[in-house]
């Protein structure tokens, strides 16, 4: 198939290479003319994926018209906060391709998910979200990975499922687009929190608490926004949360570690050198929690650390010294107790 990938970062490159190795005609778009030429010549994306040798037939180009021409599948692998601008700028060049979004985030201004933004700008295009516990570095080295293809149309979810499946990438289908998008976005919030915990020198107990209580917050907001509760128990919920909170491949966790060590968000982002999706998502989730009156204490404290310069240790104290409560407030009834 003819496939266009918008975005030449680590994830876009890894997926493009996988599809190219499967015999598809894949072209990747990036803004930097000279860098695109360099990748074509060396077959290495030294900035974002330096350890992977790319397939000879995989092409990189700064010419959006060339990349989009005759494409049947259009994969968006740019930062979530840039997708709306990219869609609006190039919508007249996009035909009836299936849109596959692999970015994880919620638009700060509109508080909409990527599927909602795509629906507004390209209402006639079919849409699939591709998300799960997956680091580009490992996929590019053909390490076993599982992921989810979600669409409201079963045929589209299963088509993309088949397109990406290999002996090292197992793909599951799911009809819960909103749930998959929200889970994939909000887990980055908790990953920053896990990193802060590491940066402060706390141990496994603290991280386990953050992850477990974090998935509860993610689920509450996700269900409020229309997602299905079971989705948050699966690969794009707990699965993605585990990998993002525990791996040094995770830029969100790295950002948190630097914040825990006393650096500002700006300093941390500059040192990492790539987009930290969770920083924007914290702001969006905080606003959504206020809008829908969802209690999210971890998200609230992280918002205050990132955007109100609160000392992380004070936030930990606030979380630990809240009023005592049941673990599952909605499940506890008086007749449960002896």
Task: Give me 4's structure tokens.
Answer: 């266009």
Q: Cα(132)–Cα(123) distance, rounded to whole angstroms?
A: 25
Task: Give dist(CA 334, CA 193) in Å, integer.
Answer: 34
Query: Pick the catalytic residue: 27, 84, 104, 187?
Result: 187
Known catalytic residue: 287?
no
Per-residue 3-state assignment (H helix, E strand, C coil) for the chain: CEEEEECCCHHHHHHHHHHHHCCCEEEEECCCHHHHHHHHHHCCECCCECCCCCCCCCEEECCHHHHHCCCCEEEECCCHHHHHHHHHHHHHHCCCCEEEECCCCECCCCCCEHHHHHHHHCCCCCEEEEECCCCHHHHHCCCCEEEEEECCCHHHHHHHHHHHCCCCEEEEEECCHHHHHHHHHHHHHHHHHHHHHHHCCCCHHHHHHHHHHHHHHHHHHHHHCCCCHHHHHCHHHHHHHHHHHHCCCCHHHHHHHHHHCCCCHHHHHHHHCCCCHHHHHHHHHHHHHHHHCCCCHHHHHHHHHHHCCCCHHHHHHHHHCCCCCCCCHHHCCHHHCC
Q: 234 forms bridges with which residues in the sheet?
A: none
Query: What residues act catalytically?
Result: 187
């Amino acid at each position: 198939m003819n496939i266009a990938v918008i975005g030449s970062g680590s994830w876009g490159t890894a997926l493009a290479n996988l599809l190219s190795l499967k015999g598809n005609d894949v072209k990747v778009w990036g803004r930097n003319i000279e860098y695109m030429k360099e990748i074509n010549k060396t077959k290495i994306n030294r900035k974002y994926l330096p350890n992977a040798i790319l397939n000879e037939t995989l092409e990189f180009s700064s010419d959006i018209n060339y990349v989009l021409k005759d494409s049947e599948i259009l994969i968006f692998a740019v930062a979530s906060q840039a997708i709306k601008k990219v869609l609006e700028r190039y919508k007249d060049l996009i035909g009836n391709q299936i849109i596959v979004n692999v970015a994880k985030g919620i638009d700060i201004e509109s508080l909409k998910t990527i599927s909602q933004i795509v629906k507004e700008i390209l209402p006639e295009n079919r849409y699939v979200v591709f998300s799960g516990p997956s680091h580009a570095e490992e996929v590019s080295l053909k390490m076993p990975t599982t992921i989810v293809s979600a669409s409201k149309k079963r045929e589209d979810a299963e088509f993309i499922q088949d397109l990406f499946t290999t002996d090292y990438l197992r793909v599951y289908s799911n009809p819960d687009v909103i749930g998959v998008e929200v889970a994939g976005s909000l887990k980055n919030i908790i990953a920053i929190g896990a990193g802060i915990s590491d940066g402060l020198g706390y141990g496994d107990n603290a991280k386990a608490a953050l992850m477990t209580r974090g998935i509860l917050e993610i689920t509450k907001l996700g269900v409020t926004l229309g997602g299905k509760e079971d989705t948050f128990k699966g690969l794009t919920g707990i699965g993605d949360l585990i990998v993002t909170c525990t791996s040094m491949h995770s830029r969100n966790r790295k950002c948190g570690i630097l914040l825990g060590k006393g650096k500002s968000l700006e300093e941390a982002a500059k040192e990492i050198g790539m987009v930290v999706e969770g920083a924007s998502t914290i702001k969006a989730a905080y606003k959504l929690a206020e809008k829908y009156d969802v209690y999210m204490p971890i998200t609230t404290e992280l918002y205050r650390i990132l955007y109100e310069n609160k000392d992380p240790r004070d936030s930990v104290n606030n979380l630990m010294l809240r009023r005592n409560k049941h673990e599952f407030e909605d499940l506890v009834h008086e007749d449960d107790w002896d």
